[in-house]
């Protein structure tokens, strides 16, 4: 009883504490304009999108309320399901590969050697290109009459058809291009994390007789957990929203969630409301992914213990 | 003591200067913002200038020359507002402007697949009263169909395009052929022989990618075998599921499966076709391409004019010629406040004299039937050799939901070409989805 009433008093007390105090109230008033602007710019479009997704609007005008019909239609739409499948496979595949390769590069660059600064800069070069440019460049390498990768793969007998005309091969190509492009980002984030691990820990482990594998799995990985989660969350959310890479590399053939939204909202006349529903779906699922990382994997979002 | 006084004096004056500076910059920013807002407000073009929206001018600058000529002889000026060269981006930009309700562009140079989509939303003007039937008769049939929606005419056909067959005269002669093929079977036969005899890389290249051009190619095969997408007498009836349409798609797929066309043709757009056929040393015997391809010949790095012939596409035994209609129409923005002036400009640009000017200078094909008989125009190689193609064009389905139909068709045509689905499956899937689109629209 005492705890309950003291809880209530604490809650009531917080409110009175914040708004009863004239100085703190002034602080809230001063922050209000900035908060309003953020709400209008950031939240209004999202709210409007949600509203559009529960009506049958078209590009020419607002429609009437239809409940969850758009969402039901969307889940029955084969293009949407294909986009969802491609996006999920792409996300899992590219983030996993980027992580493994990025960690390797970070470990290699972690020890001081001559020319390390230069190597670090060189590793960053793919990341520096705009995605559209790299996509066009790689598409030329995959294309049938002139692409070197296509020629080599066909000559070696690994595949027997043009890479760009098969959906599976296209997806694999997109994953590889994305790994090429964003592995440096992973590597640099993980490198920053590696450099916070003090050298004494390794010395002590070596004295205790731990071998390389044990040092890696028992010391490096656990101490790196925070950095790994941050890097993997960023990359997962980025890969989930893939659009320009798919659109340009496959010349609009490969569907992803974002290309589905674009086609439905900009090109099609009839799927406008469904496109909005898909956009809301992307927003909600991305939110859930972030929540999973924070709650379940225990990603730290601040300095609280 | 004096030092401190001096120091305070200096810092005090510095503090005031900073405050003054902040006051001045604040006033300056506010003033600039006000000016900007005022400038935005008065942004619409002053009355007296007609805005003509169209993609970039051709290499010979014929559009600019004609606009200049018009400006000299009229009491208002016309300004060419350059829109994106890519037709998809142009349409996007146009739709955005219409949705925003800005009536800036008065006359629109529109792709032949746009009039129905724009008219259904009330964005372009009905020209039936200005453009009477007697005048309409003077234009070619298919271009006129492309501007007609629900019985009313919404634009004037400006220039036209038709899918054509290009062939290598020199390679065919070496293998003993003096004439281009008339049927698809003949084409496959000739292509096989020439590629075997002379080691040419590809027999036949065309646009098979899943995009608008792929729809054009697929539709050509369907029309040539006697099928169609929408019933000509009832645009709400979908008739694509027919043995004729399936036979057409089967012919297209056989190009790839028989090896006459490379496997990569299912990723080819215009650029790849050009590279394969027109660029030195010319790796293909036949190509399906639009008339603009002829302009490549006799330029550096490309084949010579006497190596290449152009003509109508082959067709199925016993069927009429058919090729896909391309081209551009003149439309008037329904929100424009210079509608009469817009009509004056359109009358000028679509007059026989102006069309002939563009045809002779830039090989831009006229839409007036009489001009195709004109001696000067008949000398243009594309017209001389390809006139039957231009006279036998079919318009793509004229529907306000053409964008949706195009997305469905390009997917199925590409799948049928690659052999992922059989032609029968493709046309029956299309029948279902196109019927769904027509229903959803009504």
Q: List pLDDT tens digits, range B348-374.
A: 999 999 999 988 888 888 999 898 888
Q: Which of B364, B327, B359, B328 is nearest to B108 (CA)?
A: B328
CA A103 to chain CA centroid, nearest Å: 18
CA B105 to chain CA centroid, nearest Å: 19
Residues paired with residue B230 on neighbouring β-strands, in sequence order: B238
The residue among A144, A167, A246 with the most chain B CBs within 10 A of its CB, best to mutate, is A144
Give the one of A60, A144, A269 whose C-beta lies nearest to B264's C-beta: A144
- β B365-366/B230-231 pair status: unpaired
Average pLDDT over residues B58-84: 90
Q: Which residue of A has its CA nearest to B404?
A: A268
- pTM assigned to the model: 0.82
Q: Is A139 on the interface with B (CB under 8 A)?
A: no
Give the one of A60, A162, A263 whose C-beta lies nearest to B267's C-beta: A162
With residue B81 as reference, give the H or E element that holds it: strand B77-82
Q: Which of A283, A278, A284 is nearest to A74 (CA)?
A: A278
Q: Is A268 on the interface with B (CB under 8 A)?
A: yes
Phi, psi of B301, rounded to the nearest 5 degrees = 90, 0
B12 has a pLDDT exceeding 70: no
Q: Is A163 on the interface with B (CB under 8 A)?
A: no
Q: Is A55 on the interface with B (CB under 8 A)?
A: no
pLDDT (0 to 100) of residue B60: 80
Sheet hosting strand B308-311, strand order edge to edge: B202-205, B284-289, B164-168, B308-311
CA B56 to CA B89: how far, in whole Å?
13
CA A144 to CA A142: how far, in whole Å?
7
CB contact under 8 A, A60 and B117: no
For chain A, what percent of residues have pLDDT higher than 90?
43
CB contact under 8 A, B121 and A162: no
A74 has a pLDDT exceeding 70: yes
Q: How many CB pairs under 8 A join A and B?
A: 60
CB atoms within 10 A of CB B86: 10
CA B262 to CA B191: how far, in whole Å?
12
Q: How sure is the predictor about A300, in pLDDT bands with cuts at 50, 70 and 90?
A: low
Chain B residue numbers with beta carbons less than 8 Å from the beta carbon of A267 are 88, 403, 407
Q: Which of B263, B261, B256 is nearest to B277 (CA)?
A: B261
The domains of chain A, with CATH numbers, are 2-53 (no CATH), 72-295 (1.10.3720.10)
CB contact under 8 A, B275 and A266: no
Which two three-digit tokens encode residue B231? 């019933």
Tell me if ipTM is over 0.85: no
Q: Which residue of B has its CA nearest to A160?
A: B263
Q: Residues of B near A (CB-CB distance < 8 A)? A: 88, 92, 95, 99, 117, 121, 209-211, 262-264, 266-267, 269, 272, 275-276, 283, 400-401, 403-404, 407, 414, 418, 437, 440-441
Are the C-beta atoms of A150 and A162 separated by less than 8 Å?
yes
Are the C-beta atoms of A153 and A188 separated by less than 8 Å?
no
CA B342 to CA B332: how far, in whole Å?
7
CB contact under 8 A, A269 and B401: yes
Q: For residue A302, what are the CA distances in angstroms to A297, A298, B111, B271?
A: 15, 11, 56, 53
CB contact under 8 A, B262 and A145: yes
CB contact under 8 A, B99 and A59: yes
Query: How does pLDDT run across B275-303, given as a tens digit for each residue?
Result: 899 988 889 999 999 988 888 888 888 99
Give start and end residues of each alpha helix (H) in A39-112.
44-53, 69-76, 78-110
Calculate how close chain A gets to B60, using CA atoms only, in Å: 30
CB contact under 8 A, B264 and A164: yes
CB contact under 8 A, B400 and A267: no
Q: How sure is the predictor about B6, in pLDDT bands with cuts at 50, 70 and 90?
A: very low
Q: What is the dihedral of CA B337, B338, B342, B344, to 10 degrees?
A: 150
Q: How sure is the predictor about B255, in pLDDT bands with cuts at 50, 70 and 90?
A: very high
Are the C-beta atoms of A104 and A123 separated by less than 8 Å?
no
CA A5 to chain CA centroid, nearest Å: 44
CB contact under 8 A, A252 and B210: yes
Query: How does pLDDT run across B84-94, given as a tens digit for each residue?
Result: 888 888 998 99
Contacts 24+ apart (CB under 8 A), A107-116: A107/A194, A107/A220, A109/A187, A109/A191, A110/A191, A110/A194, A110/A195
Q: Is A144 on the interface with B (CB under 8 A)?
A: yes
Query: How does pLDDT run across A102-133, given as a tens digit for each residue?
Result: 999 999 888 878 888 888 888 889 999 999 99
The domains of chain B, with CATH numbers, are 49-161+326-389 (3.40.190.10), 164-324+397-441 (3.40.190.10)
Query: How does pLDDT run across A134-168, given as a tens digit for each residue?
Result: 999 999 999 877 888 888 888 888 877 788 888 89
Calculate how close chain A gets to B128, using CA atoms only, in Å: 25
pLDDT (0 to 100) of residue B425: 93
With residue B325 as reference, give the H or E element that holds it: strand B323-332
CB contact under 8 A, B276 and A145: yes
Whether residue B281 has a cis bond before it, omega within 30° of 0: yes
CB contact under 8 A, A165 and B267: yes
CB contact under 8 A, A145 and B267: no
CA A188 to CA A184: how far, in whole Å?
6
Phi, psi of A235, rounded to the nearest 5 degrees = -65, -40
- The angle at the Cα of A174, spanning A266 to A272, to the nearest 5 degrees, equals 15
Burial class (CB in 10 A: 0-12, 13-18, 19+), B436: middle
CA B418 to CA B416: how far, in whole Å?
5
CB atoms within 10 A of CB B325: 26
Residues across chain A: 305
Give the one of B276, B403, B418 whose C-beta lies nearest to A267's C-beta: B403
Are the C-beta atoms of B279 and A145 separated by less than 8 Å?
no
Q: Which residue of A has its CA nearest to B101?
A: A60
Give the one of A165, A251, A268 whose C-beta lies nearest to B263's C-beta: A165
The residue among A145, A151, A252, A275 with the most chain B CBs within 10 A of its CB, best to mutate, is A145
Calculate how close chain B gets to A141, using CA atoms only, in Å: 14
């Amino acid at each position: 009883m005492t705890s309950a009433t003291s809880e209530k008093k604490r809650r009531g007390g917080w409110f009175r504490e914040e708004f009863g105090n004239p100085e703190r109230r002034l602080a809230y008033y001063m922050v209000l304009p900035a908060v309003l602007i953020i709400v209008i710019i950031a939240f209004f479009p999202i709210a409007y999108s949600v509203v559009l997704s529960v009506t049958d609007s078209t590009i020419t005008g607002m429609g009437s309320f239809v409940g969850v019909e758009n969402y039901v239609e969307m889940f029955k739409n084969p293009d949407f399901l294909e986009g969802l499948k491609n996006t999920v496979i792409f996300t899992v595949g590219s983030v996993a590969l980027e992580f493994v390769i990025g960690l390797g590069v970070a470990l290699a660059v972690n020890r001081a050697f001559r020319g390390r600064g230069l190597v670090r800069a060189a590793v960053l070069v793919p990341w520096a290109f705009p995605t559209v440019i790299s996509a066009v460049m790689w598409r030329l390498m995959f294309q049938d009459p002139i692409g070197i990768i296509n020629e080599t793969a066909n000559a070696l007998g690994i595949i027997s058809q043009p890479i760009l005309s098969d959906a599976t091969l296209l997806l694999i190509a997109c994953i590889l291009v994305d790994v090429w492009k964003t592995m440096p980002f992973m590597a640099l984030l993980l490198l920053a994390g590696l450099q916070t691990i003090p050298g004494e820990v390794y010395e002590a482990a070596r004295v205790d007789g731990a071998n390389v594998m044990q040092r890696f799995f028992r010391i490096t990985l656990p101490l790196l957990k925070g950095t790994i989660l941050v890097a993997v969350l960023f990359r997962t959310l980025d890969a989930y929203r893939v659009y320009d890479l798919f659109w340009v590399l496959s010349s609009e053939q490969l569907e992803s969630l974002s290309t589905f939204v674009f086609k439905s909202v900009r090109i099609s006349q009839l799927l406008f409301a469904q496109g909005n529903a898909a956009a809301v779906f992307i927003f909600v699922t991305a939110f859930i992914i972030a929540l999973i990382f924070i709650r379940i994997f225990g990603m730290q979002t601040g300095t609280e213990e | 003591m004096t030092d401190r006084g001096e120091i305070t004096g200096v810092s005090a004056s510095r503090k005031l200067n900073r405050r003054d500076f902040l006051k001045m910059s604040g006033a300056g920013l506010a003033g600039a913002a006000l000016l900007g807002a005022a400038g935005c407000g008065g942004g619409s073009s002053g009355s007296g200038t007609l805005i003509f929206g169209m993609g970039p001018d051709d290499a010979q600058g014929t559009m600019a020359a004609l606009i200049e000529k018009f400006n000299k002889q009229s009491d208002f000026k016309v300004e060419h507002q350059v829109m994106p060269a890519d037709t998809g981006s142009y349409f996007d930009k146009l739709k955005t402007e219409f949705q925003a309700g800005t009536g800036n562009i008065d006359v629109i140079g529109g792709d032949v697949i746009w009039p129905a989509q724009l008219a259904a939303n009330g964005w372009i003007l009905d020209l039936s009263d200005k453009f009477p039937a007697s005048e309409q008769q003077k234009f070619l049939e298919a271009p006129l169909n492309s501007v007609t929606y629900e019985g009313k005419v919404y634009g004037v056909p400006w220039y036209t395009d038709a899918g054509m067959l290009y062939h290598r005269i020199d390679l065919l002669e070496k293998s003993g052929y003096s004439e281009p093929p008339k049927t698809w079977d003949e084409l496959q036969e000739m292509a096989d022989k020439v590629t075997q005899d002379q080691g040419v890389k590809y027999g036949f290249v065309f646009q098979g990618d899943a995009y608008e051009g792929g729809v054009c190619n697929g539709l050509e095969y369907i029309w040539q075998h006697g099928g169609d997408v929408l019933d000509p007498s009832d645009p709400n009836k979908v008739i694509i599921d027919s043995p004729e349409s399936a036979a057409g798609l089967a012919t297209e797929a056989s190009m790839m499966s028989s090896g006459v066309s490379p496997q990569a043709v299912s990723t080819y757009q215009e650029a790849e076709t050009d590279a394969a056929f027109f660029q030195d040393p010319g790796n293909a015997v036949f190509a399906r391409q639009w008339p603009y391809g002829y302009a490549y010949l006799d330029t550096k790095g490309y084949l010579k004019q006497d190596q290449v012939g152009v003509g109508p596409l082959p067709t199925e035994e016993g069927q009429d010629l058919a090729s896909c209609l391309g081209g551009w129409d003149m439309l008037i923005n329904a929100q424009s406040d210079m509608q009469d002036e817009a009509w004056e400009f359109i009358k000028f640009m679509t007059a026989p004299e102006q069309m002939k000017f563009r045809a002779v200078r830039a090989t831009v094909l006229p839409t007036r039937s009489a001009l195709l008989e004109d001696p000067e125009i008949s000398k243009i190689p594309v017209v001389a050799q390809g006139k039957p193609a231009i006279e036998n064009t079919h318009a793509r389905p004229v529907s306000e939901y053409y964008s949706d139909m195009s997305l469905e068709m390009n997917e199925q045509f590409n799948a049928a070409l690659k052999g992922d689905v059989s032609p029968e499956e493709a046309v029956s899937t299309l029948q279902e989805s196109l019927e769904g689109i027509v229903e959803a629209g009504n």
